[in-house]
Amino acid sequence: MYKIPMLDLREEYRTLKTEIDEAVGRVLESGVFIGGPEVSVCEKELASFLGTKHAVSLNSGTDALVIALRSLGIGPDDEVITSSFSFFATAEAISLLGAKPIFVDIQAQTFNIDPQEIEKKITKRTKAILPVHLFGLPSNLTIISSLTKEYNLSLIEDCAQSFGSMFEHRMTGTIGDFGAYSFFPSKNLGCYGDGGLLATNSDTLAAQARKLATHGSKVKYYNEEIGYNSRLDSLQAAILRVKLKYTEKNIKSRQAIAHKYNVAFANVNGIVTPKFQDGHTYNQYTIRVKNRDGLKADLDNAGIASAIYYPIPLHKQPPYVSYGFQLKEAETAAAEALSLPICPFMKPEDQESVIACIKQSLLKKTKT
Ligand SMILES: *Cc1c(COP(=O)(O)O)cnc(C)c1O
Contacts of 275 (CB under 8 A, 6+ apart): 109, 110, 137
Contact 320, 306 (CB under 8 A): no
Share of the chain above pLDDT 90, in %: 98
Closest CA to 66 of 112, 125, 130: 130
DSSP reduced 3-state for 341: coil
Distance CA 81, CA 91 (A): 9
Tell whether the model's pLDDT for residue 368 goes beyond 80: no
Beta-strand ranges (E) seen in the chain are: 54-58, 79-83, 100-104, 126-130, 154-158, 166-167, 170-171, 178-182, 196-200, 217-219, 222-223, 285-288, 337-340
Atom of ligand 1 nearest to the CA of 187: 1
* Region 120-139 average pLDDT: 98
Judged against a pLDDT cut of 60, whether residue 83 lies above it is answered with yes
Residue 135 C-alpha to ligand 1 middle, in angstroms? 11
CA angle (151, 154, 155) in 5-degree steps? 110
How many angstroms does the Cα of residue 92 sit away from the middle of ligand 1? Answer: 11
pLDDT in tens, 273-330: 999 999 999 999 999 999 999 999 999 999 999 999 999 999 999 999 999 999 999 9
pLDDT at 184: 98
Phi, psi of 206 (to 5 degrees): -65, -45
Please give the distance, rounded to the nearest whole angstrom, from the Cα atom of residue 136 to the centre of ligand 1. 12
For residues 25 and 288, what is the distance between their CA atoms, to the nearest angstrom?
45
When the pLDDT of each residue in the chain is averaged and rounded to a whole number, the result is: 97
Output the CA angle 113-115-120, nearest 5 degrees.
105
Using the mean position of ligand 1's atoms as its centre, give its distance from the Cα of residue 62 in Å.
Answer: 6
Contact between residue 264 and residue 68 where contact means Cβ atoms under 8 Å apart: no
What are the pLDDT digits (tens) for 225-264?
A: 999 999 999 999 999 999 999 999 999 999 999 999 999 9
Residue of 69, 92, 182, 189 to test ligand 1 pocket, by largest number of atoms within 8 Å of CB: 182
Whether the CA torsion 316, 83, 136, 71 is positive or negative: it is negative
pLDDT at 365 over 80: no
Quote the ligand 1 centre to 69 CA distance (angstroms): 15
Sign, CA dihedral 38-39-44-50, equals positive
Among 54, 115, 66, smallest CA distance to 90 is for 66
Residues with Cβ within 8 Å of residue 213, at least 6 apart in sequence: 56, 58, 59, 63, 67, 227, 228, 229, 230, 231
- SS3 at position 324: coil
Residue 367 confidence (pLDDT) above 60: no
List ligand 1's pocket residues with C-beta within 6 A. Answer: 60-62, 86-87, 89-90, 132, 158, 160-161, 182, 184, 194, 196
Nearest atom in ligand 1 to 89's CA: 10
96 alpha-carbon distance from chain centroid: 19
Average pLDDT in the 64-80 region? 98
- How do residues 134-184 score in pLDDT, each as one tens digit? 999 999 999 999 999 999 999 999 999 999 999 999 999 999 999 999 999
Q: Please, which pLDDT band fits residue 1 given cuts at 50, 70 and 90?
A: confident
- Residue pair 39/232 in contact (Cβ under 8 Å)? The answer is yes
CA separation for the pair 294, 304 (Å, rounded): 14
Give the whole-angstrom CA distance, residue 233 versus residue 260.
37
